[in-house]
C-alpha cells in the first residue's frame, strides 16, 4: 500500500479543483477536502464547491458532512480525515488532499490541537465571567495564572484570550507549560510520507481569475443561496456566516450594502485573504513545493516535489 499523502494547496481562485480532478483520475486517487467551509451542506456557490458531476468522476471526502447551523471543529475534522485516509488506502487508492485552509492543512504535518478536555459547564462558566469583564481585566487574570508570562499570545484578540483562560483553567497549567507539552505531541499523520505541491500564479493573472470567479458566483445565484441558508440557520454559526462571500451577501440582504457594492466588497476581502495565504505559505510551507501555473501544467511527477516536506514551524 502507498502510505503517502499527496497534498495540493494554493491560493483562492488559483485553479486547484481542475488540476486535482485530472490528476486524481489518472492516478487512481480519491480526493480529501482540506477546506473548512466545504464541510457545510448548502454552501456551494460561495465556496466554489466541486459539483455533483465532478464528485461522480472522482470520489470526494469531507464535503457536505454537517448542517450549516452546526459549527465544525478542527478536532472533528482530524478524526474524520484520519478515518477517511485509512479507508482510501484500504481500497488500494492514493490519497490526494486538496484545499487552502491553513489550520486544517497543518494537521497533516503535525499536531494542531491538544488533548485538554473543557467541559460544557466550565466553558459556560468562563464565557459568563469573560462577558462581564473588560478585555484588560481578563488579560490581568490570565497574567495572574501565568507568572512565567504570556509568551507570544495576542492579548488584543478577545477570542485568543478567552481560549487561553479556558485552557489554563481546565488543565491547571500555564500557557508555557502547555506549549512545552504540546511540542512533544505526535501528529496523526507522522507515520505517513507526504508530497506537497503549492499552486501559484502571478498577481495580475490571479486578479483576473478572482474577478471572473466573483462574477460567476453572483450569476449562478449566490444571493439566492445565502437567502436559503439564512432559513437553515447560517447566522447561528459565526464561522460560516463570517466567511468571504457569505458575510457580504448577508449584509446585502440586511440592506446594509448596495447591489453594485456587493461584488466589489467580495473581491476586496478575497484579495485580503489571498494576501494572508501568501504570508502563511511562506511562513509554514517549504518554498521548493511551489509551482507557477502560468508556466503550464505541473509535471506529471510532481509527487517528487517537496519530498518529505514539513511545515517550516511546527506551531
- List pLDDT tens digits, range 76-99: 999 999 999 999 999 999 999 999
258 and 126, same structural domain? no
* pLDDT digit string, tens, across residues 110-151: 888 777 888 889 989 999 999 999 999 999 999 999 999 998
Which domain does 162 fall in, by range?
Answer: 120-183
> CA end-to-end span of the chain, whole Å?
30
In the numeric block, which cell numbers belong to residue 143?
497574567
| Range scoring the smallest mean pLDDT among 95-104, 169-178, 294-303, 304-313 | 304-313
Residue in 38, 17, 193 with CA at minimum distance from that of residue 104: 38
104 and 49, same structural domain? yes
Residue 300: pLDDT band (50, 70, 90) is: low
CATH number at residue 266: 3.40.50.300
- In this model, does residue 310 exceed pLDDT 60? no
pTM of the complete model: 0.83
Taking the C-alpha atoms of residue 150 and residue 287, their distance in angstroms, rounded to an integer, is 31
- In this model, does residue 303 exceed pLDDT 80? no
224 and 103, same structural domain? yes
Residue in 192, 225, 264, 265 with CA at minimum distance from that of residue 6: 192
pLDDT of 315 reads 37
Residue 310 counted as domain residue: no
Residue 311 counted as domain residue: no
pLDDT of 302 reads 62
> Of 183, 218, 235, which residue is a domain's last?
183
Amino acid at each position: 500500500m502507498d502510505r503517502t499523502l499527496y497534498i495540493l494547496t494554493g491560493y483562492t481562485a488559483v485553479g486547484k479543483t481542475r488540476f486535482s480532478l485530472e490528476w486524481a483520475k489518472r492516478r487512481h486517487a480519491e480526493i480529501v477536502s482540506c477546506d473548512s467551509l466545504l464541510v457545510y451542506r448548502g454552501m456551494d456557490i460561495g465556496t466554489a464547491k466541486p459539483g455533483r458531476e465532478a464528485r461522480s468522476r472522482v470520489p470526494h471526502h469531507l464535503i457536505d458532512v454537517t448542517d450549516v447551523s452546526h459549527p465544525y471543529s478542527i478536532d472533528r475534522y482530524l478524526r474524520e480525515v484520519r478515518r477517511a485516509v485509512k479507508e482510501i488506502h484500504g481500497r488500494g487508492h492514493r490519497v490526494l488532499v486538496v484545499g487552502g485552509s491553513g489550520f486544517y492543512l497543518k494537521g497533516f504535518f503535525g499536531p494542531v490541537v491538544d488533548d485538554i478536555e473543557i467541559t460544557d459547564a466550565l466553558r459556560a462558566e468562563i464565557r459568563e465571567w469573560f462577558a462581564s469583564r473588560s478585555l484588560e481585566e481578563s488579560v490581568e487574570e490570565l497574567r495572574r495564572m501565568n507568572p512565567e508570562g504570556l509568551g507570544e499570545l495576542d492579548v488584543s484578540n478577545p477570542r485568543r484570550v478567552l481560549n487561553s483562560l479556558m485552557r489554563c483553567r481546565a488543565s491547571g497549567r500555564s500557557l508555557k507549560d502547555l506549549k512545552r507539552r504540546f511540542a512533544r505531541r505526535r501528529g496523526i499523520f507522522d507515520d505517513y510520507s507526504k508530497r506537497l505541491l503549492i499552486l501559484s500564479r502571478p498577481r495580475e493573472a490571479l486578479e483576473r481569475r478572482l474577478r471572473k470567479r466573483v462574477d460567476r458566483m453572483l450569476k449562478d445565484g449566490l444571493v439566492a443561496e445565502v437567502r436559503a441558508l439564512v432559513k437553515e440557520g447560517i447566522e447561528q454559526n459565526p464561522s460560516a456566516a463570517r466567511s468571504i462571500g457569505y458575510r457580504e451577501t448577508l449584509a446585502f440582504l440586511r440592506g446594509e450594502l448596495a447591489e453594485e457594492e456587493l461584488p466589489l466588497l467580495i473581491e476586496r476581502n478575497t484579495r485580503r485573504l489571498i494576501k494572508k495565504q501568501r504570508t502563511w505559505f511562506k511562513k509554514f510551507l517549504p518554498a521548493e513545493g511551489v509551482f507557477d501555473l502560468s508556466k503550464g501544467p505541473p509535471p506529471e511527477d510532481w509527487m517528487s516535489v517537496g519530498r518529505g516536506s514539513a511545515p517550516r514551524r511546527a506551531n
